[in-house]
Structure 1
């Protein structure tokens, strides 16, 4: 998602806007001068496997661990009891039977194309409004109050003998926007329905949030960014008056047993890849682990009627392999970096304010893994929360994030999204079929930059889009 720096007052007339692009920002943002977007671990891979390679600077010994983790990430889990006891215990309620089932080839998922198409890699998070005093412990540790009976996520699949929670239906509506030169852009807007609930009526005050699986590249590098570097970009009260009020989410780290800065997930609701992965095992596949010892099944659903794969189904050994794999996926190198149109697009990106939230560059800290340490990386994100306006709002809080706020997602590898998964969509729910559609959905704090984009002549828009496609 692209975010702005400019005030609405900067939107004058097209001629003035174009001539004053270079004066639009108060901060000078760096322009990437290396193809190594993910530091020394970047890989020159630009085909359908672009997101699935290990860090280029990782030792051969560690590549064996990567392969083992990959096998647990890729292969399906099965119903217990089974002869494959290292991967049994699926469900009883679940959304998918493998990590790869949502993160297709380690890339983004996609929304169903029609009402009749089942959802493969998009699901609904659930909750109900919480009382800050009565639900203080829930809010501190989970950031929300799960829905009665249906928990924190709608599970649309089940093992034999168990009914799914309900059906999720996505209906698409058309939305047309007109650019400054008269070009009309037809986009799609999703409307979500929950039908055929099998465990009683849904709460009247149910809050839902659609989430499509994000790409997996560069996660270990993001985890290695010093917390101070992320907090340096915070401006929750917009003290500098630039219209941007990014703030960090503060979330509960179950391993560290303390509140820390969140940096993963669509609302930055996760503190680490390990916790995010184990929560996905529990919520998406119904599998327990030491980090997340309970699934999303509620007492009313009586999931304990069925055999499980052990008190801890994802063993610590398997969890560590999964975590190593997820934190070792490399970022592809830049393409067309020296192309004049791409270079112009990079300048437009900075000049109209996109870089104010899509912070281009960081240097990772010194961490236990040398291949992740001291790397100059170009993720194009501040990893902070921003108000994206009513059009993208889900109305569902998560820790400090309110119903209008989303974490700025990194843009590295953006141009390969549909190479890896041709059906992939952009934004948190995959509604945007193109990068341009994603830009035009930006509102709230991002409205001035999106308006700048609308008023650009086509040559400048094409340059910006080609730059984004080069990432």
Structure 2
């Protein structure tokens, strides 16, 4: 057995070293390794890993039921799924992660349910040190860390989220005009008093759920090796890791999930969403975002805790087992030309194409997989245009974690209203590219300089992922 583990270790090390060559060209359509699936319709993000053992498929289905079905107000006959609120944003995980995919910002006929506002205030001296260490920010004193726009009967929603869109055009080098939009956020009709004058707001739209278990399986050392916080190689890219609080182990660890890499693992990310988005407690997140002045304790709860450890494990298993769709149209000449343009523009410096997962105990489907997520999972300064001004642990107000690109071409197939970037402001992939600034400005400028044929080729490449 020791010899077998040694062989796996040597194989993993060899593949990992090979994966560090930059930028590798994807040869296999299996972006998610052996677990990749060949579906390209509205359900493309909702299948289990193709190599998930049959003995684990029931666990996946049970987790799916708690992820998909609505939670209800307590007390209820469905006591395994009660305890919603009193303050919340949505009543199910699928309410934001539509068909396990991206959410969308509100529009003229769309609600804001899959976009919410994170809240914070600047630290106010020594008393906020523990909050910064444990939460990564200081919550707004009355409204907490997230604006809840819904409430159960007898309670009042915190406020209304209003988004207005400022339309403008951007001119490219060849004179082409690209329609763009900029969101303007307002919090109206607060029901629990005024917000702090120095409140910081960060809009977040739900990201896709695919491949999370594979991202969790990328060895930490690989991420640290790719980090270059001081830009020692002089290429203008200074990706760095976030260091966050792990509630289970009660220590600071590397962050890799969330828009600012503010969560260390899938379980904590999931239970944090239950508490913040739905007002549902668990052993890992025993308190919701309701503050003392809002009086939520007067309402019945769904048990201590509302998400049992068993249910939490099912949900985390589900979230770690959603398969990545295979790539399409890889052999088309336009797609190959677009891949070359992507690399030449420098996009792969942050959107690292290839990784190799380590060995995950009891998860052979996630172990030693060659994957193509197109992310380094590191923080990068994206410039003032995308800045939210709100820090999260080591991430500052200009920094965002590089989002994976796998499955990108199916985003609007899964959710026709899906938006791109952290707040969904980009309606198209071209808009998303043009919003890149800061460290990514040279890559965006390279796109601006391309002729129409090469721009179209790059977009075709992105849509093939």
> TM-score, normalized by length of structure 1?
0.93
Shift of 1:132: 5.9
Q: Distance in 1 between matches of 2:353 and 2:254?
A: 20
Aligned partner of residue 370 in structure 1, secondary structure: coil
Q: Distance in 2 between matches of 1:336 and 1:421?
A: 21
Does the alignment pair 1:283 with 2:276? yes
Out of 29, 32, 35, which is 1:35 matched to? 29
Shift of 1:63: 0.6
Residue 385 of structure 1 corresponds to 379
Out of 30, 39, 48, which is 1:45 matched to? 39
Aligned partner of residue 448 in structure 1, secondary structure: helix
Q: CA RMSD in A?
A: 0.9
Residue 120 of structure 2 corresponds to 127
Q: Distance in 1 between matches of 2:123 and 2:169?
A: 37
Does the alignment pair 1:409 with 2:403? yes
Aligned partner of residue 30 in structure 1, secondary structure: coil
Residue 215 of structure 2 corresponds to 222
Aligned residues of 1:132 and 1:139 also touching (Cα < 8 A): no
Q: Distance in 2 between matches of 1:235 and 1:134?
A: 33
Does the alignment pair 1:326 with 2:319? yes
Deviation digits for residues 314-334 of structure 1, max 9, x if unmatched?
000000000000000000000
Shift of 1:175: 2.2
Residue 178 of structure 1 corresponds to 171
Q: Distance in 2 between matches of 1:162 and 1:133?
A: 34
Does the alignment pair 1:92 with 2:81? no
Unpaired segments ≥5 residues, structure 1? 1-26
Residue 203 of structure 1 corresponds to 196
Aligned length: 444
Out of 67, 70, 84, which is 2:61 matched to? 67
Aligned partner of residue 95 in structure 2, secondary structure: helix
Q: Distance in 2 between matches of 1:429 and 1:75?
A: 25
Shift of 1:68: 0.4
Does the alignment pair 1:452 with 2:446? yes
Q: 1:230 to 1:193 in 2, by over 3 A?
A: same
Residue 264 of structure 1 corresponds to 257
Residue 145 of structure 1 corresponds to 138
Does the alignment pair 1:298 with 2:291? yes
Higher relative contact order (CA 8 A, sep 6+): 1
Shift of 1:117: 4.5
Aligned residues of 1:127 and 1:151 also touching (Cα < 8 A): yes
Does the alignment pair 1:375 with 2:369? yes
Q: Distance in 2 between matches of 1:322 and 1:180?
A: 48
Q: Distance in 1 between matches of 2:218 and 2:123?
A: 33
Shift of 1:233: 1.1
Deviation digits for residues 123-175 of structure 1, max 9, x if unmatched?
00001001463311111110000001100000000000000000000000012
Aligned partner of residue 322 in structure 1, secondary structure: helix
Moved more, 242-251 or 27-36: 27-36
Q: Distance in 2 between matches of 1:66 and 1:117?
A: 31
Q: Distance in 2 between matches of 1:129 and 1:61?
A: 49
Shift of 1:300: 0.3
Residue 54 of structure 1 corresponds to 48
Out of 309, 332, 346, which is 2:339 matched to? 346
Residue 188 of structure 1 corresponds to 181
Shift of 1:111: 0.3
Shift of 1:441: 0.3
Deviation digits for residues 405-436 of structure 1, max 9, x if unmatched?
00000000000000000000000000000000
Unpaired segments ≥5 residues, structure 2? 1-20
Does the alignment pair 1:433 with 2:427? yes
Does the alignment pair 1:274 with 2:253? no
Q: Distance in 1 between matches of 2:206 and 2:255?
A: 18
Residue 19 of structure 1 corresponds to none
Residue 10 of structure 1 corresponds to none
> TM-score, normalized by length of structure 2?
0.95
Q: Distance in 2 between matches of 1:383 and 1:149?
A: 33
Shift of 1:272: 0.4
Residue 246 of structure 1 corresponds to 239
Residue 13 of structure 2 corresponds to none
Q: 1:438 to 1:208 in 2, by over 3 A?
A: same
Aligned residues of 1:250 and 1:260 also touching (Cα < 8 A): yes
